[in-house]
Amino acid sequence: MTNYPTLKSSIPAKAGVGFKPEHARAIFAEDEPSAGWFEVHAENYMGAGGPPHAMLTVLRERFPVSVHGVGLSIGAEKGLDPEHLKRLAAVVERYEPGLVSEHLAWSTHDTHYLNDLLPLPYTQATLELVVSHIGQVQDALKRQILLENPSTYIRFETSTMSELDFLSEVAKRSGCGLLLDVNNVFVSATNHGYSPEDYIDGFPLHAVGEIHLGGHAEDEDDLGAPLLIDSHDREVVDPVWALYERLIGKTGRMPTLVEWDSDLPDWPVLAAEAKHAAAILDRAAGKRNDVRAA
């Protein structure tokens, strides 16, 4: 297994947005871009051509682009689908994105794909499996990838290490970077009853190459306790913004993406979310400059 060096990302340390074709006309019409970069889901561009590729080609000419995978199933016990990995490699080669990322999850069983990102037990066996699969992905892409922390709704009694320790070991042993999704932190912490601030403070921040923000739905479990669902269908809530500001205070400026994948609003609503993130990034930069000048 080759450990690929950390790449110098062409994604700026600005606020970006997940690209949706419904917003293309408004995005291309802006005189002053509301977003500093855009992220696309790899699986939407695995065909040979057509309107999706035509639109992404124009976007790539105008903006930095990252590629986010949702179907590799890095935690699948059976192993990676070589055809899916081949298609992902073709997308990466075609568009040369600044960053490539995937999820710490599994979504396949035998030959069936499940429309979900399912959790894993944090055990030594799972660690070995995930590290091996990341090695295969990085070898196929010939570059480092980022692995995203999950949003979870159950925990496994068989786990022998914490999620933080697991992610830290994966990054160290595979050479991958990490994508820190702040909304996922808040969702999981609420569902399992731990401190999201403590999670942020304990995260291996040296390995983080990108940050995600998004909205979540509120529900309750069978006992009436709060249950949050990582839905990506609404605005980022104030507690998640506060966590993000806490994080940026530790890391400084970082590429930050606002995700909104369903019940899409008009472009100005999503653009306003990106501008909110940009304001937090600017405040963090200002505070650091004040400290250096003191």
Percent of the chain with pLDDT over 70: 93
Of the CA atoms within 13 Å of residue 237, those in its CB half-sphere come to 15
The predicted pLDDT at position 232 comes to 94
Query: How far apart, in whole angstroms, are the C-alpha atoms of residue 37 and residue 68?
Result: 13
The predicted pLDDT at position 1 comes to 61
Confidence of residue 291 (pLDDT cuts 50, 70, 90): very low
Confidence of residue 222 (pLDDT cuts 50, 70, 90): confident
Query: How far apart, in whole angstroms, are the C-alpha atoms of residue 276 and residue 266?
Result: 16
Residues counted in the chain: 294
193, 172, 195: which is closest to 243 by C-alpha? 195
Angle 75-147-175 from CA coordinates, rounded to 5°: 100
Mean pLDDT for all residues in the chain:
92
- DSSP lists the bridge partners of residue 179 as 148, 210
Query: How far apart, in whole angstroms, are the C-alpha atoms of residue 45 and residue 59?
Result: 13
pLDDT digits (tens, 9 = 90+) for 248-278: 999 999 999 999 999 999 999 999 999 999 9
195, 183, 189, 188: which is closest to 257 by C-alpha? 183
- Collect contacts of 282-285 with beta carbons under 8 A, ≥24 apart: 283/245, 284/245, 284/248, 284/249, 284/252, 284/253, 285/252, 285/253
Strands 217-220 and 226-229: antiparallel
Q: Which domains does the chain have, with CATH numbers?
A: 15-293 (3.20.20.150)
- pTM (2 d.p.): 0.94
H helical segments located in the chain: 24-29, 51-62, 82-95, 124-141, 163-174, 182-192, 196-202, 238-251, 267-293
The predicted pLDDT at position 178 comes to 98
pLDDT at 94 over 60: yes
pLDDT digits (tens, 9 = 90+) for 185-204: 999 999 999 999 999 999 99
The predicted pLDDT at position 2 comes to 73
Once rounded to an integer, what is the mean pLDDT over residues 142-152?
Answer: 96
